[in-house]
Amino acid sequence: MTSSESLGKHKYDLYLNGLTSLSDAAAESLAKHEGDLYLNGLTSLSDAAAKSLGKIEGYLCLNDSMSERINSIKWELSSKEISEIIGKTFVIKNLEIAQYDFSWSMLWTEAIKSCASLGDTWRLPTIEEWSDIMQPNRYLIGVCEKHELLPNVDPPAKREYWSSTHFSESINYFSFTWGKGFTKNHTSRYFVRAVRTFDEN
């Protein structure tokens, strides 16, 4: 088998149907793969490996039992993982904002589940919350960084984020490249920052 370090981030299709198991390190490396990935021969995975494979952005082909295993466990976050995402929250107006993004981009349906997995009413922001609260405070919440030499000019944004706002098959996402919302379909992948309504009581 190829070493886990060489599996890394590639865009070609990868066929590893002869494998019956994966080490945690190999699964973590495969999670960066951008092409289609075929692992039909897998018969066992550790919890850590299953969570890593659940983050793959391309098409992942598995047998039914392994697909069910990954889908059942990838939304289960440990208390440590939850605290690492929520961090020291920002409270702006009536909105409490997690300190960090989830570390991988995901489908909109996955984004909904990911926020819910944090518990305690965490959710996706609406497109209005992105525009009216989070965009004006983009430096504070860490989704943009000031350029050292041009502090009054926004550097190109690296990420676009899902919102909870949707119309039929179209979902609103927020682009920091343009500073406003756009619509996409369910099959697109964007990043996620969780929020919840702040209650002073």
pLDDT of residue 4: 42
The pTM is what? 0.73
pLDDT of residue 151: 52
CATH number of the domain located at residue range(s) 79-197 in this protein: 3.10.100.10
What percent of the chain has a predicted confidence (pLDDT) above 70? Answer: 86
pLDDT of residue 1: 41
CA 15 to chain centroid:
25
What's the pLDDT tens digit per position in 74-88? 777 888 889 999 999
Which pairs count as long-range contacts for 141-148, CB under 8 Å and 24+ apart, including other chains?
141/90, 141/97, 141/99, 141/193, 142/99, 142/100, 143/101, 143/176, 143/193, 144/176
139 has a pLDDT exceeding 90: no
Which are the contacts of 152, defined by CB distance < 8 A and separation ≥ 6?
none
CA 170, 107, 66, 20: dihedral to nearest 10 degrees?
A: 130
